[in-house]
Each structure stands twice: as structure tokens, then as C-alpha cells.
């Protein structure tokens, strides 16, 4: 059968780097039933003698193949998509060659017309290379290619040949391979594979990949290979040798981490980390002994250059890690000064999550025809795969109550990082948690030494919850963090991605939970759009879940009890079991779980202790209007104390159900449940909230910024992105550039406290009074009818609710003028 307007897709079978373009395809006959053809890449190579790098790549990774797909329903304006290795220049060569060649004749007779449309490959940085990370290794087309999604799904590729990724088969120095293998690193990750070949060819590179996907070794492996092959044993020991690699990182923690990764991968090289806040002299003497790799923050590097302790004249490799963050913390001048001091003959690699104007300028000015390797793309999900996202509505007060429950249920004994906006919150939240869970705070007011102790303790599992400001959001690589809790909304989507990226690293699974107040619901939706991921909106864990998880964790710890200790307790255990059976063991578990007393009841709406959430529903046949006032009316008639004490009331968002959920003090709720309930109504205690109607005016702001603050900030910088924070921070901080410590790097932190004094806290307390029972209501808080502190008149006074019987306000059903209705009611 002849299909007009079919689409041919050519792709490398293993497109670990690919460029894309389109060019017109003359309609060609193609059998709709023909399977995809597999053609050898040598078809292409034979067109172009200029494809050296392509040949180089294919010889390392074995010959990739091309596949031809067709899509029967495509229109005649269809195009051929060619995905090929390497950069635009090679790609152009390929196409140029193709233009003068007859082109391949496929068995089916399909023959593309080789007319190259240059605009189709135009991307901001000469080439756009893309790839699906991890899971997508075997797939052919990137996810932005919606047109082809189905086709690619239906033609899943053969599993990738592991030789192509196997670090022992990539001609790397054996001692590098040995040390990587001893760390369990045996296969390249996608960004490493994408960077390796062009980096080994000496190309300048701009790269972007998702959090935790191995960017450090992406530049680390080629740089170490270069250094190792350039020198012999004696050159690595020569005293006073000058650094050949310079890595710039925006924070001390990140610099230390990069140093650690390089040291562990190449212990035979001398790697020195330099940053502020610690002794200058020890860094000076380390440099004077001779060094191969210097990793550091720009501020201290400038100080060392000025003090003539650091000479950059032999630097061959420059790496700028987290370049956009340099801008955000106000290091742009320092970075440029350092780059001016470097030899012009060098290779530069720049890693950046976003490309604000300054980073583009850097690339233009200091990089030589850079190759851009972007494994994220514009449309794709920005979070690493394997991170499960939840969103939980909470009030400012209830967040504290539910935090330990979230840790218990979602981290299951593993490590958690809780992100707060302010240093004060980090301290307070950590302190509050310590009653039940081991926890420490990390922020810019803590001394450098203490911060290092804290991070080490967390790494080693000495405590399980780290409560941190955004200083820990970027770059920190702590193994096995299972759970991230955004205690407050981040300032922008990038911060959300970086905070969340502390889990789900190196292809592992992780969970991130966003706590939001009802007024932030719209922001949560825009966050979903900005990061390209969906949250699962869930309630905070029910007490049953918390108890179950606690018990499971206690049981898990039992396996760690030494057998000799068990022997001591066995006789008592036997006696207990004989006397009490399983009750004895259950009591022990309850005690060890921290529940020696039964957990007090807790509101499902506000999560506050001492409250019980009940549900009132009316028969579906009852057509009267149901509102929050109907609830108070009902309560006044059934049990007036309940009407006095009722807390939050929410109407159920289900057209088929006439009803509401509401909070009562625990004891009152118990009593209400013993009362006679009028026929046609049901009152019950619930353990999970049904879907509820919206309960307040939406707002649209991230983190601590009020609408006004955000619009001010937007006025001076770009939209809601990281750069806006950067612009703000750098402008504010310019005067402080001499004292370079964490505090300087920790602009977000400093800013957080300033903002809380200026408005952040006010805003929060404003939010509180808006949502809390008994507070001054703003418009929209129409569910708050009762008052916890009973600011409302008592039931014997003027009645503010609506009659449950007739729906009119101002009287109770018991006082309803319609006596017939009243009778039917009771």
C-alpha cells in the first residue's frame, strides 16, 4: 500500500547525544505494514569525510544504527527528522555532504530530498543536544517531540549495549577506572556519556542536566583523564607545581563536595579546596606544596590570587559549576576577574541550571565555540525521575504538628531534609522535632566548623532530620536522603527543583512533600506547570498510618539488637507471654514507638491536637440549601455545647452529597456521637477527609514574597526565576564583597530574615489570623462560624447560624416558626 505524506524518522539507535533538524520529504511510497528498517550508520559516514568526531564516537561506543519509521496518517507536509551525533558544525557537514550526495536509497524506495533548512537547527547556543535520562537510554526521540511520541513508543529500541557505558571499556586510565569501580561507579550516567567525547576532543562545553545525575564526574572524568595522561608519576609529586585544573563553585559546601568527588576518583592527584570562613594559612601552604586541581569559591580564590599564593598561569581546564548560582550570590565580578587571569589556551566547561543573561555573556566572552549539551530541555519535567511529589494543605500552626508524622510515615526511618525560609524557622522547627526525632538545623548563622560537623553527622546517620534554609538546596550530595519536606513554599521554581533534587539522586527513588496553606493553592498549581510535574494532593497522615509506620520502624530496629542482649531478656519475655500473650509484645512496641499513652485525637482539617473531625450528611432527597450555617443550626438543636465549640467547617465538594465536615473538641465530639440524631441526617467520625470546597481567596506567590514584593522584584529582573533572586541579592550585597564567608554566599538566608522583619512574618501571621478559628475574618473565610476560644456569642444569645430546618438565618430549628417542619425534624 502506498502511503502519501508518510514521515520518516531517522535516529541513532543509541542517541546519547543528538541534534535535531527537519527538512522536507518528498512523498514516497512506503508500506504501512513494513517494519522499521535498520540501516547502518556507515551510510552517513560515507557521505562526509568531515565526520571525524562521529566516527570517533562510534568507534568508542560501537556503531550506532539508524532506524526508519513511518507514520501512515501523516500529512503531505511531513518532514524527516534526523537525529545525529554531535554538534551543529558536524551536523552541518553531514547535511552539506548529504546535499551533494544522491542520498541513501532505502529498500522501501523512500528517498529524502536533502534540502537543509538551517533555521530548523537554530538553537540559542549553536546546538541543542538532548536525551532522556536514565530510563530513556534505549529510546530514540526526546520527549519534546510530541508528534513522534507514539511512533517511538511503539518501536521501543533494543536494550542499550552496556559496553557503551562501561567505564572499563572506554579507554580511561586504569587507576581512574579502579578508583571509580571501588566506589561502585561502573557505568557512565547520561550526562557523563554526553560530555565525555566532546570534552576529550578538547571542546568547550555548556551543560545542563537534572539534579543528582552526576554532573561532577561529567567534567571530572575527562579532566582527570587529561591530567593523568599528561603527567608521569614524578610530575604528580613535584613540589610547587601549579594547578592545571580550576573548578569554581558558588558555595563552600559544593566546593568541598566537588573536591571530595575528584579526590576519591583520583587520589593520586593533589586536589585542594579553598573557601572562606576557615584558615587562609592552611590553604596557602597546601597550594605552595604543589597542586593539580584547585576547587574553590570565587571570593577566596581572588584573595589567594591577590596574596600571590595562587597562580593560574598553568591552568588548562576551567570548570564553572552552578554558574547561575554564582550570579545569584553576587559573585559575577569575581568570576570574571578570575577568568581574565586564566591562560587563553585552555578548555572551559560551564554547568548551569538556567541561562540568565550574565551566564550567556560569560559563555560568549570566555568560552570558545562551546558545544551545548542539554539533557533537560525546555518542555520536559525538570525534576529527576524517581522523585514522587506530594502536596499537603496545612496551616502555619498545623505544619509543626504534622511534620513528625510526615517524617515517620514517608521517610520510614531514612534521612529527611526539611526546608524552611528563615534561619529562625530552621532553628525552631528543628528544636520542636527533637522531642520525637533526632534533628539538627543548618543555616548561615551557624559557624563553618559546626556546619561541617552537622553535615558529616547527617551523612553518617547520627541524626535523621536536617532542617535547613536554602543554603542546602543546591548541590549537596548526601546519600540516601529519602524525603524532602518543603516546610514553606520555595521562592521560585528553580529552588523547588534544587531542594527536591537532594533526594532521588543517582537514579534512586525519593519523595518530596510540599506543605502549602489554602491561600497558596494557586501557586502550587503554577509550580506544577513551571517544573513540569504533577503533585499528588493528599491529606496529612491519619493517626493509624503514623502508628503503623512507627511500629514497622521499631520492628526494623529489633533486628539490630545483639543476640547476647536478647538472651538476658528472654526469661522475662517468656513469663510475660505466658501471663499476657501478645498484649505484652504490643505494649513493648507501643512504648518503643513513643505511644505509651494513646495518641490524642487530632483535627483532620487543621491537624491540631485535642480536636476531632466529624462529618454531617443529609439525605440526598432533601433539597434545602446546605451551608456552613446549616451545620451550626443542626448542632444547636442537637447539642448546643457543640454549636458553641465548633471549629472549622468545610462543605463537601461533591454534588451528590449534601454535607460538611467540622471540628469539635474531642470530648464534645464524643458526646455528640451519643446523641439522638434527627432522621435523614448522619453524623460520623471520619479518618480521611472527603474532597472539600475551596476555603479561601487564592493568592499567587512563592515562598516568603507577598504579591507586592514579587512585583517589585519582577520590575527589576526577569520573571520569577532564579535570576530575579540573583539580581536582588547581588545588588544588595555589593558593598559586602570583602568578607567572604558562607554569610556572603548565603544571601538567601540573610535575605530571608530581612524579609521576615519587613513583611514575611507579618504576612504569615496575617495568613494565620485569616485561617485560624476565632481570628478576624477576611472576606472568604466564611467557614469559620464557631470559635475555638468562643468569641462567638453563646447558644443562649443571639443565634448567628441558619435554621437547619427551613434554611433561614437568625433562628435555630428548635425555634423554627414552622412548627410542622419542626416536628418532622425531630
Ligand X SMILES: Nc1ncnc2c1ncn2[C@@H]1O[C@H](COP(=O)(O)OP(=O)(O)OP(=O)(O)O)[C@@H](O)[C@H]1O
Q: Select from 333, 340, 335 the least CA-distant residue to 312.
A: 340
Among 48, 53, 65, 216, binds ligand X (CB under 6 A): 216
Considering only residues 237 to 266 of the shown chain, the ones binding ligand X according to CB under 6 A are 261
How do 681-685 and 611-618 pair as beta strands? antiparallel
Using the rule CB under 6 A, is 504 a contact of ligand X?
no
- From CA 109, how far away is CA 160, in angstroms rounded? 29
Give the binding-site size for ligand X (rule: CB under 6 A): 19
Q: Could you write out the DSSP letters of every residue in 133-153?
A: -GGGGG-SS-TT-GGGHHHHH
Q: Measured on CA atoms in the order 772, 776, 782, 787, is the torsion positive or negative?
A: positive
Among 16, 44, 91, 189, binds ligand X (CB under 6 A): 189
Q: How far is the CB of 16 from ligand X (least distance, A)?
A: 13
Considering only residues 167 to 186 of the shown chain, the ones binding ligand X according to CB under 6 A are 185
Question: In the numeric block, which cell numbers belong to residue 681?
Answer: 441526617
Among 215, 252, 256, 415, binds ligand X (CB under 6 A): 215
Among 78, 211, 421, 469, binds ligand X (CB under 6 A): 211
CA dihedral 608, 610, 611, 612 (to 10 degrees): 120
Using the rule CB under 6 A, is 612 a contact of ligand X?
no
With contacts defined by CB under 6 A, name the span among 205-213, 433-441, 618-626, 723-731 that binds ligand X: 205-213
Using the rule CB under 6 A, is 208 a contact of ligand X?
no
Q: How far is the CB of 348 from ligand X (least distance, A)?
A: 18
Using the rule CB under 6 A, is 339 a contact of ligand X?
no
Q: Could you write out the DSSP letters of every residue in 157-196?
A: PPPPPGGGTBGGGTT--HHHHHHHHHTT--B--HHHHHHH
Using the rule CB under 6 A, is 516 a contact of ligand X?
no
Query: Which CB atom, from 145 or from 321, has the smaller least distance to ligand X?
Result: 321
Using the rule CB under 6 A, is 214 a contact of ligand X?
yes
Among 198, 276, 493, 501, binds ligand X (CB under 6 A): 501
Whether 128 and 374 have beta carbons less than 8 Å apart is answered as: yes
Query: Which CB atom, from 83 or from 216, has the smaller least distance to ligand X?
Result: 216
Whether 510 and 504 have beta carbons less than 8 Å apart is answered as: yes
Query: Which CB atom, from 211 or from 519, has the smaller least distance to ligand X?
Result: 211
Question: In the numeric block, which cell numbers belong to residue 455?
Answer: 553535615
For 33, what's the count of Cα atoms within 13 Å in the CB-facing half-sphere? Answer: 1
How far are the Cα atoms of 431, 542, 575 from residue 415, in angstroms, in the given order? Answer: 17, 21, 38
Using the rule CB under 6 A, is 212 a contact of ligand X?
yes
With contacts defined by CB under 6 A, name the span among 55-63, 151-159, 214-222, 330-338 that binds ligand X: 214-222
Using the rule CB under 6 A, is 704 a contact of ligand X?
no
- From CA 376, how far away is CA 215, in angstroms rounded? 13
Query: Which CB atom, from 37 or from 387, has the smaller least distance to ligand X?
Result: 387
With contacts defined by CB under 6 A, name the span among 209-217, 442-450, 464-472, 635-643 that binds ligand X: 209-217
Neighbours of 97 (CB within 10 A): 18
Query: Which CB atom, from 363 or from 481, has the smaller least distance to ligand X?
Result: 481
- From CA 429, how far away is CA 406, in angstroms rounded? 14
Residue 337: φ, ψ to 5°: -60, -45
Q: Measured on CA atoms in the order 439, 442, 446, 450, is the torsion positive or negative?
A: positive
Q: Is 782 left (phi over 0), alpha (psi -120 to 50) or beta?
A: alpha
Q: How far is the CB of 167 from ligand X (least distance, A)?
A: 7
With contacts defined by CB under 6 A, name the span among 208-216, 407-415, 517-525, 610-618 that binds ligand X: 208-216
Using the rule CB under 6 A, is 222 a contact of ligand X?
no
Q: How far is the CB of 514 from ligand X (least distance, A)?
A: 18
Q: How far is the CB of 386 from ligand X (least distance, A)?
A: 12
Q: Select from 92, 113, 110, 125 the least CA-distant residue to 34.
A: 110
Among 188, 301, 605, 642, binds ligand X (CB under 6 A): 188
Q: How far is the CB of 473 from ligand X (least distance, A)?
A: 9
Using the rule CB under 6 A, is 354 a contact of ligand X?
no
Using the rule CB under 6 A, is 477 a contact of ligand X?
yes
Q: How far is the CB of 186 from ligand X (least distance, A)?
A: 7
Whether 283 and 243 have beta carbons less than 8 Å apart is answered as: no
The site for ligand X (CB under 6 A) is made up of 185, 187-189, 192, 209, 211-217, 261, 475, 477, 501, 505-506
Amino acid at each position: 500500500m502506498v502511503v502519501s505524506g508518510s514521515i520518516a524518522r531517522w535516529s541513532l539507535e543509541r542517541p546519547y547525544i543528538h541534534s535535531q533538524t527537519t527538512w522536507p520529504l518528498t512523498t514516497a511510497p512506503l508500506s504501512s505494514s513494513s517494519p522499521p528498517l535498520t540501516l547502518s550508520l556507515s551510510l552517513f559516514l560515507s557521505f562526509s569525510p568531515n565526520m571525524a568526531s562521529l566516527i570517533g564516537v562510534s568507534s568508542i561506543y560501537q556503531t550506532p544504527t539508524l532506524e526508519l519509521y513511518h507514520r501512515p496518517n501523516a500529512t503531505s507536509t511531513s518532514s524527516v527528522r534526523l537525529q545525529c551525533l554531535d554538534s551543529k558544525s558536524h551536523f552541518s557537514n553531514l547535511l552539506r555532504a548529504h546535499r551533494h550526495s544522491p542520498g541513501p536509497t532505502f529498500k522501501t524506495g523512500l528517498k529524502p530530498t536533502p534540502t537543509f533548512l538551517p533555521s530548523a537547527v537554530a538553537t540559542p547556543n549553536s546546538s541543542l543536544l538532548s536525551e532522556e535520562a536514565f530510563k530513556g537510554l534505549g529510546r530514540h526521540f526526546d520527549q519534546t517531540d510530541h508528534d513522534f511520541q507514539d511512533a517511538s513508543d511503539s518501536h521501543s529500541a533494543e536494550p542499550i549495549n552496556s559496553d557503551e557505558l562501561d567505564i572499563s571499556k572506554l579507554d580511561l586510565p586504569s587507576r581512574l577506572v579502579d578508583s571509580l569501580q571501588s566506589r561502585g561507579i561502573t557505568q557512565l550516567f547520561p550526562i557523563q556519556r554526553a560530555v565525555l567525547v566532546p570534552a576529550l576532543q578538547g571542546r568547550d562545553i555548556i551543560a545542563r542536566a537534572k539534579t543528582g545525575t552526576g554532573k561532577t564526574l561529567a567534567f571530572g572524568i575527562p579532566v582527570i583523564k587529561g591530567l593523568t595522561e599528561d603527567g608521569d608519576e614524578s610530575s604528580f609529586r613535584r613540589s610547587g607545581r601549579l594547578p592545571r585544573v580550576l573548578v569554581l563553585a558558588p558555595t563552600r559546601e559544593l566546593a568541598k563536595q566537588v573536591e571530595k568527588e575528584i579526590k576519591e576518583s583520583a587520589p593520586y592527584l593533589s586536589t585542594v579546596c579553598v573557601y572562606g570562613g576557615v584558615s587562609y594559612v592552611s590553604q596557602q601552604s597546601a597550594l605552595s606544596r604543589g597542586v593539580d586541581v584547585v576547587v574553590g569559591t570565587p571570593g577566596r580564590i581572588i584573595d589567594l590570587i591577590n596574596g600571590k599564593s595562587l597562580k593560574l598561569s598553568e591552568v588548562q581546564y576551567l570548570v564553572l559549576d552552578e554558574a547561575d548560582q554564582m550570579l545569584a550570590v553576587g559573585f559575577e565580578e569575581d568570576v570574571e576577574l578570575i577568568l581574565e587571569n586564566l591562560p587563553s589556551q585552555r578548555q572551559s566547561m560551564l554547568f548551569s541550571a538556567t541561562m540568565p543573561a550574565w551566564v550567556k555573556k560569560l559563555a560568549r566572552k570566555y568560552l570558545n565555540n562551546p558545544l551545548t549539551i542539554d539533557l533537560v530541555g525546555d518542555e520536559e519535567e525538570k525534576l529527576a525521575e524517581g522523585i514522587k511529589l506530594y502536596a499537603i494543605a496545612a496551616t502555619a500552626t498545623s505544619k509543626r504538628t504534622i511534620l513528625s508524622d510526615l517524617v515517620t510515615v514517608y521517610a520510614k526511618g531514612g534521612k529527611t531534609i526539611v526546608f524552611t525560609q528563615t534561619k529562625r524557622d530552621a532553628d525552631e522547627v528543628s528544636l520542636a522535632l527533637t522531642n520525637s526525632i533526632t534533628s539538627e538545623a543548618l543555616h548561615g548563622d551557624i559557624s563553618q566548623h559546626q556546619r561541617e560537623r552537622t553535615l558529616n553527622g547527617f551523612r553518617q546517620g547520627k541524626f535523621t532530620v536536617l532542617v535547613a534554609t536554602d543554603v542546602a538546596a543546591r548541590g549537596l550530595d548526601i546519600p540516601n536522603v529519602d524525603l524532602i519536606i518543603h516546610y514553606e513554599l520555595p521562592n521560585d521554581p528553580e529552588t523547588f527543583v534544587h531542594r527536591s533534587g537532594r533526594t532521588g539522586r543517582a537514579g534512586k527513588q525519593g519523595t518530596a512533600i510540599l506543605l502549602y496553606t489554602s491561600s497558596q493553592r494557586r501557586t502550587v498549581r503554577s509550580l506544577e506547570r513551571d517544573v513540569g510535574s504533577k503533585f499528588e494532593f493528599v491529606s496529612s497522615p491519619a493517626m493509624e498510618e503514623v502508628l503503623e509506620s512507627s511500629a514497622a520502624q521499631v520492628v526494623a530496629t529489633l533486628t539490630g539488637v545483639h543476640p547476647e542482649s536478647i538472651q538476658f531478656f528472654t526469661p522475662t519475655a517468656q513469663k510475660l507471654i505466658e501471663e499476657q500473650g501478645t498484649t505484652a509484645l504490643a505494649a513493648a512496641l507501643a512504648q518503643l514507638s513513643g505511644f505509651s499513652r494513646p495518641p490524642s485525637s487530632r483535627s483532620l482539617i487543621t491537624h491540631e491536637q485535642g480536636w476531632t473531625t466529624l462529618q454531617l450528611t443529609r439525605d440526598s432527597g432533601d433539597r434545602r440549601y446546605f451551608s456552613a450555617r446549616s451545620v451550626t443550626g443542626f448542632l444547636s438543636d442537637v447539642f448546643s455545647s457543640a454549636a458553641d465549640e465548633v471549629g472549622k467547617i468545610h462543605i463537601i465538594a461533591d454534588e451528590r452529597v449534601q454535607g460538611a465536615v467540622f471540628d469539635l473538641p474531642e470530648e464534645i465530639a464524643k458526646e455528640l456521637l451519643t446523641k439522638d440524631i434527627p432522621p435523614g441526617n448522619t453524623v460520623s467520625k471520619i479518618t480521611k477527609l472527603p474532597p472539600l470546597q475551596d476555603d479561601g481567596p487564592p493568592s499567587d506567590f512563592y515562598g516568603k514574597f507577598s504579591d507586592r514584593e514579587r512585583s517589585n522584584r519582577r520590575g527589576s529582573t526577569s520573571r520569577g526565576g532564579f535570576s530575579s533572586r540573583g539580581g536582588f541579592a547581588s545588588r544588595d550585597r555589593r558593598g559586602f564583597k570583602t568578607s567572604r564567608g558562607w554569610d556572603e554566599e548565603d544571601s538567601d538566608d540573610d535575605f530571608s530574615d530581612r524579609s521576615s522583619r519587613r513583611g514575611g512574618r507579618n504576612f504569615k501571621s496575617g495568613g494565620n489570623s485569616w485561617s485560624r478559628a476565632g481570628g478576624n475574618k477576611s472576606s472568604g473565610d466564611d467557614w469559620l462560624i464557631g470559635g475555638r476560644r468562643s468569641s462567638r456569642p453563646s447558644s443562649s444569645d443571639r443565634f448567628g447560624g441558619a435554621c437547619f430546618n427551613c434554611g433561614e438565618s437568625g433562628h435555630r430549628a428548635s425555634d423554627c416558626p414552622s412548627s410542622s417542619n419542626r416536628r418532622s425534624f425531630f
